[in-house]
Chain A
């Protein structure tokens, strides 16, 4: 039995991509499937560098379609499997991910957002929010965690495996090129020592016994003959998703109770927004901070509570309103004014957020 990759706790200095590889090791992931694309390549690099010691596996496929489908295959065989991608790779992966939604296959995919549309930049954006939350030709029956820090990346990569296997919906860890390449300190830990129990995996196919005699046959479908058959299955899935959503939803907020204006952001941008809100508070501005951690399902109840008292929202993102669109849906009917600071494909600084709030507040 190979030793545990992480024993006890250790503070390390790493890039975000390394964090993902080590978190997957700590989460007892057994195999990664992948195809190279910047800025996620080092997830594959560090996974393949470390796994010989820990008896895990890796398969590089010929493209992201195959990477997605082989991840589905790995999970069907009962393996705790994951993949990672970005940008155009994320687009290609939507087909296998739709299949995972259709079959309720708990795959985990890490997305390091790069600029878009198309190849755009290899560097950074928050432009894969729409694609990651609602991509595929279905109803977006998936979970998306948006991380802001390296500690988040470690914590939520581990959590993603448990969410996926508990609820049986494809689960994403959404980060970006800045986080992928950025270095900061983070505490690596063995989940077991923090009381985190990994949800056991099980094989979907090749189970013991004669199908139809010893056990019901395993009939996994992503194709239906009749509209009504599909409708019936989807009703069941949608009900499961609605039931699971309140258990999955997560957010972070402060200073919202008496705030006239609440700054809403996600991922790495929320770090700038947090600094800006703290600075503005010190200067006497009644501002609050809200960050959805799950972008799908959106923490609707918490958002509506904030919307009930705040007069204005300032949505800040490195995209042209992809988060704002999700927020509008979640808060439909609310009366708070929605103001924006959109910088598609580039980073946002705390100074820019402070300036925008002062521009609004005069």
Chain B
């Protein structure tokens, strides 16, 4: 994988795999390195529940966040939603772009609504995998799921059990996700874990995949 001067990453995956947490942390990591970063909330099903509650906090940390404001919304997800105009053109913004795309296989199709999504040379689409999610619990299930998503450039092992997460689930996740990645012939881009566990693993895991530290922001959102 060649990363140019511009980083453009889309995070997709099974409902509750941890896409938003991984995307938020990635955006903050890049911003902390002094880069210009835009984080884009592309959950069109439940836009009220994802980045919106922490939007201000994230902006104060130096990233631009493209997400709905409460007052702009006319109803919950089930009443139907439209793609926010600014989000549609997100790929034409300067600097790094991190796309947080909600709601599994159907949600991933939202990416196609973005201008330049099919031509952007830097765009990398990563599937976030948590092996504690029953639909992506085994190598076979992950392979099938990622093929359903289509167009995936890499996998991220974000295996966890919420507050009950331990090193065992992260390491088992690495093993299973690595095997799935081999079958799919795509790389494991990173392993993500909360800071305490990430420090136990070190900068790379046993298979040599880079470890990214996660600070949990999402518990402060609704889901």
Contact = CB atoms under 8 A, between A and B. Distances in A.
A122 B132 contact: no
A181 interface: yes
A181 B223 contact: yes
Contact of B162 (A18, A38, A42, A184): A184
Contact of A13 (B160, B222, B223): B160
B108 to A, nearest CB: 15
A183 interface: yes
Interface of B: 15-16, 76, 78, 130, 132-135, 137, 160-164, 169, 222-223
Contact of B16 (A14, A38, A50): A14
A122 B16 CA distance: 19
B144 to A, nearest CB: 10
A185 B133 CA distance: 10
B164 A122 contact: no
B78 A12 contact: no
Given A38-B78, A122-B76, A185 B132 contact: yes
A14 B15 CA distance: 9
B169 to A, nearest CB: 8
Interface residues of A, number: 20
A362 B161 CA distance: 41
B49 to A, nearest CB: 8
A197 interface: no
Contacts of A12: 132-134, 137, 161
Contacts, number: 49
Nearest to A36: B78
Contacts of A47: none
Contacts of B161: 11-13, 185
A49 B105 CA distance: 12
Interface string A93-116: 000000000000000000000000
A339 to B, nearest CB: 31
A182 interface: yes
Given A10-B137, A122-B78, A15 B16 contact: yes
Given A122-B76, A185-B161, A11 B132 contact: yes
B134 A22 contact: yes
A122 B78 CA distance: 9
Chain A CB count within 10 A is highest, among B132, B133, B134, for B134
Given A182-B223, A183-B16, A185-B161, A14 B133 contact: yes
In the A-B complex, the 10 residue pairs with the smallest Cβ-Cβ separation, listed nearest first, are A13-B132, A185-B161, A185-B164, A13-B161, A12-B132, A181-B223, A183-B16, A12-B134, A38-B78, A13-B162
A306 to B, nearest CB: 31
Given A12-B161, A185-B161, 9 more contacts: A10-B137, A11-B161, A13-B16, A13-B133, A14-B16, A38-B78, A183-B16, A183-B223, A185-B132
A188 interface: yes
Given A11-B132, A12-B132, A185 B137 contact: no
A138 B196 CA distance: 57
B15 to A, nearest CB: 8
B162 A188 contact: no
Contacts of A185: 132, 161-164
Interface in A7-24: 10-15, 18, 22
27 contacts: A11-B132, A11-B164, A12-B132, A12-B134, A13-B130, A13-B132, A14-B132, A15-B15, A22-B134, A38-B78, A42-B15, A50-B134, A50-B135, A122-B76, A181-B222, A181-B223, A183-B16, A183-B162, A183-B223, A184-B162, A184-B163, A184-B164, A185-B132, A185-B161, A185-B162, A185-B163, A188-B134
Nearest to A45: B15
Contacts of B223: 181-183
Considering residues B76, B160, B161, B164, which has the most beta carbons from chain A within 10 angstroms of its beta carbon? B161
B107 to A, nearest CB: 13
Nearest to A39: B78
Nearest to B223: A181
Contacts of A46: 135
Interface in A32-82: 38, 42, 46, 49-50
Contacts of A50: 134-135
Nearest to A21: B134
Contacts of A122: 76, 78
Nearest to B17: A13
A188 B134 CA distance: 10
A18 B134 CA distance: 9
Interface string A341-353: 0000000000000
B135 to A, nearest CB: 7
A182 B134 CA distance: 15
Interface in A284-300: none
Nearest to B130: A13
- Of A11, A42, A46, A182, chain B has the most CB atoms within 10 Å of the CB of A11
Contacts of A18: 134
A237 B214 CA distance: 58
B193 to A, nearest CB: 14
Nearest to B169: A11
Contacts of B15: 15, 42
A18 B137 CA distance: 14
